Amino acid sequence: MGINTPSDVSAELSIGATDQKMVRIFITTETQEIPMDFLADEAEEIARELMAAAAACRS
């Protein structure tokens, strides 16, 4: 599966700060839970990449 491969998987996305001063992206599907922790700098880079992807979709 790649970035352009359609999928019927349904998931919930939660994002928040942990008590360990990390940013957690938490993905939940019917069969899996995927916690991903990032330092603040890494989370800001992810945010920039999301903004760039959204901008690319608009153009």
Q: Is pLDDT of 1 > 80? A: no
- Each residue of 7-55: pLDDT tens digit? 888 999 999 999 999 999 999 999 999 999 999 999 999 999 999 999 9
Residue 4, in any domain of the structure:
no
Residue 43, in any domain of the structure:
yes
Total domains in the chain come to 1
What does the pLDDT read at residue 25? 98
What is d(CA 45, CA 36) in angstroms, rounded to the nearest whole number?
A: 14
- Taking a C-beta distance cutoff of 8 angstroms, is the pair 48, 30 a contact? no
Note down the domain range covering 30.
12-58
- Total-model pTM: 0.81
Residue 31, in any domain of the structure:
yes
What is d(CA 48, CA 38) in angstroms, rounded to the nearest whole number?
A: 14
Which residues are CB-contacts of 32 (< 8 A; sequence separation ≥ 6)? none
What does the pLDDT read at residue 9? 87
What does the pLDDT read at residue 21? 97
Residue 5, in any domain of the structure:
no
Residue 3, in any domain of the structure:
no
What does the pLDDT read at residue 49? 98
